[in-house]
Amino acid sequence: MSDRLGQRLADLPPETDPGFGTAARALLAGPDADDEALAAIIEDADLPEQTRFNAFYCLQARAWRRKDHRRHRANTDRYQSRFGRHPMFFYLQAEYYASLGDDPANLDAALTFAVEAVERLATVPGVLHLAAEVIADRHERDPDSDPRLLLDAERHVRQAIALSDGRYARYHATHARIATLRGAFTAARASIARAIEDEDSTGAEYALRIGDYQLIRSRIQYTQEAERLGARQEEATRELQQIRSQVLEIMGLLAAVIAFITTAANIAAGQPARPAAGLLTLAGGVTLLVFWGFHVLLIGTAGGGGSAWRRLAPAIVGVILVTAGFLMTWWGPTGAGTAVHQSVGQAA
């Protein structure tokens, strides 16, 4: 039985072939491909190195599918010096660091090895999928990561789906994760529905996979609702700022009206009509300029919006009123100067 298993391992496609992973997983379905038999072939020095590496890859693929990450890492450390020069070993190293948790340092190391693996095995679907999966993990851990990596991840996973003819449900699930991170929720829901539908219910890992897919589906819904709530919160904040600006404007208008009425009463008391009109015009212009400055300092910076002309119009009108008031007072009758002094004295 060991000889037949060794021959089947030797007959696997080259590790750079797109069908290498598929053929290895098919070999693992055989009754003779248990862990003990694969480990014996790895240690058999009489066999060709490529056959032994193929046995090592099959052993690692089974550990990864079972989520036995401790055994996967132990095997990687044990056989690194023996098989480290194989292109597929970069892929296994990426899995190694990805299994250490969601710490950014581990995910960055996993991404480094995944990119190296993609450069060497650019047509192998499993390698492309792992790179996309690591990028998704990195962005879920740190949403402020480079958004261009998400486009690379989506390109990798779409290529993996195309090269494998869409046979692997996990690839669609990873695409759903990436679409969620990009905010493409319709595409994300379609991909996760495809993953749930296509997953092989007779597989040993069916329950684990379906559990992962349902978690992704829940995350899609949660992320979309969180985005909607965030948009509503921003809208409510803008409305509150607008209300605040309007309240300040109303308070400023009332203060201006009260100040103008008080000033007008003091100026008009006992003054001839022409000097009083000039002083009232001058006081109106000054009041308008003062509260225009108040608007610019306190309200204009908070409320925003409005054209430059609308912002400058009150200032222009104020300057015109002040100028007209000075002219009317200066060119008025000789009693105008006395009126000015009297109004100042009354105001004091």
343 — pLDDT class (breaks 50, 70, 90)? very low
Contacts of 30 (CB under 8 A, 6+ apart): 5, 8
Domains of the chain: 2-231 (1.25.40.10), 242-347 (no CATH)
pLDDT value of position 92: 95
Contacts of 279 (CB under 8 A, 6+ apart): 267, 271, 325, 329, 339, 340, 343
Residue bearing tokens 């990687």: 76
Contacts of the segment 303-312: beta carbons below 8 A, 24+ positions apart: 303/241, 303/242, 303/245
pLDDT digit string (tens) for 74-127? 999 999 999 999 999 999 999 999 999 888 899 999 999 999 999 999 999 999
Average per-residue pLDDT for the chain = 84
Helices (H), 142-205: 147-163, 169-182, 185-198
d(CA 204, CA 210): 12
Average pLDDT over residues 161-190: 93
- Concatenating the DSSP letter of every residue in 71-115 gives HHHHHHHHHHHHHTTSHHHHHHHHHHHHTT-S-HHHHHHHHHHHH
Average pLDDT over residues 306-323: 75
Does 315 have pLDDT greater than 50? yes
Does 6 have pLDDT greater than 80? yes
Nearest to 220 by CA among 251, 191, 249: 191
pLDDT over 70 for what percent of the chain?
85
Does 339 have pLDDT greater than 60? no
3-state SS class at 56:
helix
